[in-house]
Amino acid sequence: MYTPHRGRLGAIAKGVRKARSRFGGRLEPFFRLDLVLYEGRGDLLTVTSAETIAAHPRLREHAAALDGAARACEAVARIFDDGEPHAGVYNLLANELALLDAEPERAGRANALAFRLKLLLAAGFAPQLAACASCGDRDHVVGFSGAAGGVVCGACEANAFPLDEDSHAFMVAALGRSLAEAPEAEPRALAQAERAILETLEHHAHLRLRPVGTGPSGASRDSLTSRAR
Ligand SMILES: [Zn+2]
């Protein structure tokens, strides 16, 4: 599970598979829950009660939204794996799941990339987008360099890949607006934005996330609650 006050936690829920379990099917992926946990001596906490805050039922009926939710949880689990509290990340993930439930048709590459950009910001790895990350030039930005940590000008473009204006604009808008108001963009611009995000994570967090464009994941292991089962 991912929690606002303690980050990522593992817990067990006893008797959850019984037909008359007191948890009543609430300990499922993508539920937002109010849990009471007992902390003993072991690594795992024990769930003693679970109340549903949001079950997100519509999200489950829409394959792309379900996939988007799984990828959002996976990205959080990969980037914030240390049990450190991060209320901003919790709220961002809760917002993303609520958005995918309210408007499942919004699921897709633009939404997934906007979410990842905001995660980078929360993790302190937000790419420098306002001016060349190497020399500060604001007027001649032509590429993106994960090593430099953002956009770069023509004079500093070693190790950079070309970044179109559309891609740059998408990233600026995605970081500047709420998830619900995140922009759309052409596939080419989204592909460049995705590469910028991947290279930023590789250079600064030594992480490689699954591309957002590949097929459904089907995996729920890194979801909000599945570790509690
Ligand atoms: Zn420069």
Calculate mean pLDDT across residues 18-33. Answer: 85
End-to-end Cα separation, the chain, in angstroms: 10
Flag whether pLDDT at 229 surpasses 50: no
**Distance in Å, CA 155 to ligand 1 centroid:** 5
**Tell me, what's the pLDDT at 14?**
86
**Tell me, what's the pLDDT at 210?**
79
**Distance in Å, CA 153 to ligand 1 centroid:** 4
- H or E element in which residue 45 lies: strand 45-54
Work out the pLDDT band at 213, boundaries 50, 70, 90: low
Q: Are 54 and 99 in contact (CB under 8 A)?
A: no
User: Tokens for 62?
Assistant: 């829409």
Calculate mean pLDDT across residues 211-223. Answer: 48
**Distance in Å, CA 156 to ligand 1 centroid:** 4
pLDDT tens figures, 174-198: 999 999 999 999 999 999 999 999 9
**Distance in Å, CA 152 to ligand 1 centroid:** 5
**Distance in Å, CA 72 to ligand 1 centroid:** 33
CA angle 96, 99, 100 (to 5 degrees): 85
**Tell me, what's the pLDDT at 227?**
37
**Distance in Å, CA 144 to ligand 1 centroid:** 11
**Distance in Å, CA 158 to ligand 1 centroid:** 10
pLDDT tens figures, 112-157: 999 999 999 998 889 999 999 999 999 999 999 999 999 999 999 8
What is the value of pTM for the model shown? Answer: 0.88
Is the model more confident about 82 or about 85? 85
**Tell me, what's the pLDDT at 7?**
92
Is the model more confident about 14 or about 95? 95
User: Tokens for 60?
Assistant: 């489950």
**Distance in Å, CA 142 to ligand 1 centroid:** 9
Task: Write the DSSP string, 115-180.
Answer: HHHHHHHHHT-PPB-SS-TTT--SS-EEEEETTTTEEEEGGG-TT-EE--HHHHHHHHHHHHS-GG
pLDDT tens figures, 29-83: 999 999 999 998 888 899 999 999 999 999 999 999 999 999 999 999 988 887 7
Residue 213's CB: how many other CB atoms inside 10 A?
A: 13
